Each structure stands twice: as C-alpha cells, then as structure tokens.
Amino acid sequence: MSAQRLSLAPLTVRPASEFSLKILTDIYNRARIDYIIPMPMSVRRMEEYLRFYDVDLSRSAVAEAGGELLGVGMLGVRPDRTWITRLGVIPAKRRRGVGRALMRHFIRESRNLGVSRIILEVIKGNVAAHRLFHRYDFREQRELLILRRPPIMPRFDAPAYEAELLYGEAVFALLEKRTTTPSWLDDLPSLRKVGGMHALRVTLRNGGCGWIAFHLQPYQLSRLVIEVEEGDNEAVTRALLHSLHTRYPRHDTKLENLPADSHYRQSLEAVGYFVAFTRIEMVKWLSYA
C-alpha cells in the first residue's frame, strides 16, 4: 500500500479482543523493534503478561487504516485505576496520529470505567512518547529503576543474622504490610498471579529484622521487594541481600521499578546491583465534574 493511499484511508481503532494473540504479539514486536529497550515477546509471554497485569483485551486496542495494522496498546484494569502498557506504533507508520488515536481510546475507556486515575510508564530517553503523554495531561510521579546483578557469590560482609525461608501465603502476608508504594508490576495483584513467590526473613543479633520477597525461577531471581522492619536500614538490607545471594549464588537477579529515591538503593549498588535503565511513572487524574 502506498503512503498516499494510507494517508487517505480513515484511521480506526478496534478492540484488541478481535485479534489473535499471535497477531497482537507480531504487531507489538514490530512496533518496538527500534525502541531504546525493545523487550520482544513470544505468544506465551504475551499470554502471561495479559494475565499477570489484568489486561482487558476488550478495552485494549489495535489501530488500522485501509486494512493495514499500524499500532497496538494494552489497558490493564484494577479497582479505581487503569494502566496503559505495551503501546507502540510500527516505525514506518508514525507521525500520522496513530499514537494520539490510541491514547484517546484509552482515556475514553478509562472514563467509561469511572476510575480516578490512569497510570503509565515511559522509558527515560523516549522523548517522542514522553511528549505524547504530556499532550494528554499525564504528569511525572517518580523515576523507577531497573537493576541487575550478575550471578556471583556474595563478596561482601554482613552482620550476624538468622534467616528463615518462607513461601505461599506467608509471603503475601508480608507483602500486604509493605510500607513502600508499589508500581503496577510489583503490586500485590500482580505478584499473586505470577506464582513461585518466596521470601527470606532475617533477624540480626541486635534485634534488627526485615524480609525480602522474590520470584524464584530456575536461573533468575526477580520481582524483589525489600522491607526493613526494625533496626539499621543498611545493616538489615545487607543481611537480606547476603542471605539471598548466598542461598542462590548462580542466579541472575533482576529488580524492576525500584523508586530512584529508595533508601535501599545505596545498599543494593554496594553489593553489585547496577542500573540497567530507568522508567518514568506518569499519572493522569480524571475529573467527572
């Protein structure tokens, strides 16, 4: 199809539920191929993503013109909030209003649900997307870090401690008491759907204590949540990380969406974690007056 014919064809937005997961995955991968962090997906991974994050395909969308698929976006739905995710436009089809049409669709769907706010995340440095979200009155909430740690034995000291491994509902009982503000990815509904969540709880000799929850896979630890309950923050965090990486020395570790101003960040970086990239969490508050 020529560029002239495409420009004359009306742009329409259709529910993503009208398309197979294979087609949705293909559009998404094609749209993200030139992104700073492409994050390609398989059909199986897409299916898991939709389930983990409460994505409603009937409210998610595919943009098309003249029978050609141009872009895709997903809408997660939870009580009183929605989440725009996996938004992308195929590179050759950009600057034709596709992203704006998808954004208008998601805002309209969110209003129909009566939620108070819409949340999204944009990779820091994606200037075009950041500008698009500002256009629709999304404002920055905070920066979220994605940290990695290679699979190496701990080479750092930690205060004397005792550790207990927890799993099942005992993990979620801890997560329900967390004092930090989760993102959509590490919110309790997401972690419950993932499965395989474990936790280590440590107690120092001086009475300090805390816990670290994590998703255990054969070669990777992910979805880390840290909580110091009593005592010195640095000492307890160091003991938690020592306990985790002594128990699983051969696991690669990925910690997503740690707030940039987190008081755990310094301790994490001191034991080998590094920032892979940064996301910006943005929110649009809806008014119904």
Output the domain CATH number for residue 71.
3.40.630.30
Cα–Cα distance measured from residue 200 to residue 247, given in angstroms and rounded to the nearest whole number: 10
Residue 223 included in any domain: yes
pLDDT of 36: 84
Residue 288 included in any domain: no
Pairing verdict, β 117-123 and 252-259:
unpaired
pLDDT of 6: 46
pLDDT of 197: 97
Same domain, 98 and 216: no
Same domain, 105 and 163: no
pLDDT of 8: 57
Same domain, 81 and 195: no
Same domain, 185 and 262: yes
Same domain, 86 and 170: no
- Tokens at residue 146, please? 């994605």
Residue 286 included in any domain: no
pLDDT of 156: 85
Same domain, 102 and 152: no
pLDDT along the chain (289 residues), means of 10: 56 97 97 89 97 98 95 98 97 92 98 98 95 98 97 88 96 96 97 96 97 97 98 96 96 98 96 97 95
On the CB side of 224, how many CA atoms lie within 13 Å of its CA?
27
Residue 265 included in any domain: yes
Number of domains in the chain: 2
From 100, 115, 130, the end of a domain falls on: 115
Same domain, 165 and 274: yes
Maximum separation of any 2 CA atoms in the chain, in Å: 73
Same domain, 151 and 275: yes
From 65, 93, 115, the end of a domain falls on: 115
Residue 212 included in any domain: yes
Same domain, 263 and 183: yes
From 60, 94, 115, the end of a domain falls on: 115
- Tokens at residue 267, please? 């301790």
Provide the residue range defining the domain that includes 209: 147-280
Same domain, 174 and 226: yes
Same domain, 169 and 104: no
End-to-end CA distance of the chain: 45
Same domain, 82 and 168: no
Residue 136 included in any domain: no
